[in-house]
Amino acid sequence: MSAAKTKKTATNETALAEQLRAVSLRPTQQRMALADLLFGRGNSHITAEALYSDALTAGVNVSLATVYNALHTFTAKGLLREITIDSTRSYFDTNVDEHHHFYFEKSGRLEDIDHNRVKMTRLPDAPEGLSVSRIDVVIRVDG
């Protein structure tokens, strides 16, 4: 890998743009760049600050406010899932399928747990008139 400075291929670009249009979001430069950083890699748990810094490193001209804006917009559209475990920061998870998490207390890192590795055979009903929107299981480990 010497040339090709991670220049998005036309295909990739189109795919991303389509993904955004599919949820009625305009594929603007910054959104495309952020989407590429978020979805162009493996699934990950990223903070706004971390994505911002990735963007700067990648030479994307974007402000932190725009990063927050994009993350929240993507979350509202179901492209991301927001996870709060530590009050000092929110993570955005590119894995929006049903799944759970390991939380490493020392490093503050999150790791996915496929949902079929956890089985709950007894659960309380939602309080009268309400419905469950999500069940989060977080296994905290001391590492």
Shortest Cβ distance from residue 51 to a copy of itself (Å)? 16
Adjacent-strand bridge partners of 126: none
| Chain mean position to CA 113 | 15
| Nearest-angstrom CA–CA distance, 74 and 107 | 26
Say which entry of a copy of itself, DNA, none residue 120 contacts (CB below 5 to 8 A, set by partner kind).
a copy of itself
Task: Kindly list the residues in this chain that would bind DNA in the complex (CB under 7 A).
Answer: 25-31, 47-49, 61-66, 68-70, 72-73, 87-90
- Give yes or no for residue 78 binding a copy of itself (CB under 8 A): no
Which two tokens mark 122?
A: 């007894």
- Which region, judged by CB under 8 A, interacts with a copy of itself, from 8-16, 22-30, 68-76, 112-120? 112-120
| Among 23, 56, 65, 141, interactor with a copy of itself by CB under 8 A | 141
The nearest distance, CB 13 to DNA, in angstroms, is: 12
> At its nearest, how many Å lie between DNA and the CB of residue 56?
11
Element containing residue 67 per DSSP (H, E): helix 64-76
Contacting residue, 42, 59, 78, 129, with a copy of itself by CB under 8 A: 129
Other C-beta atoms closer than 10 Å to the C-beta of 26 total 9
- CA Rg value for the chain: 17
By CB under 8 A, residue 122 contacts a copy of itself: yes
List the one residue out of 96, 98, 118, 109 whose CA is nearest residue 43. 96
Segment near a copy of itself (CB under 8 A); pick from 8-16, 49-57, 69-77, 86-94: 86-94
7, 59 contact by CB (below 8 A): no
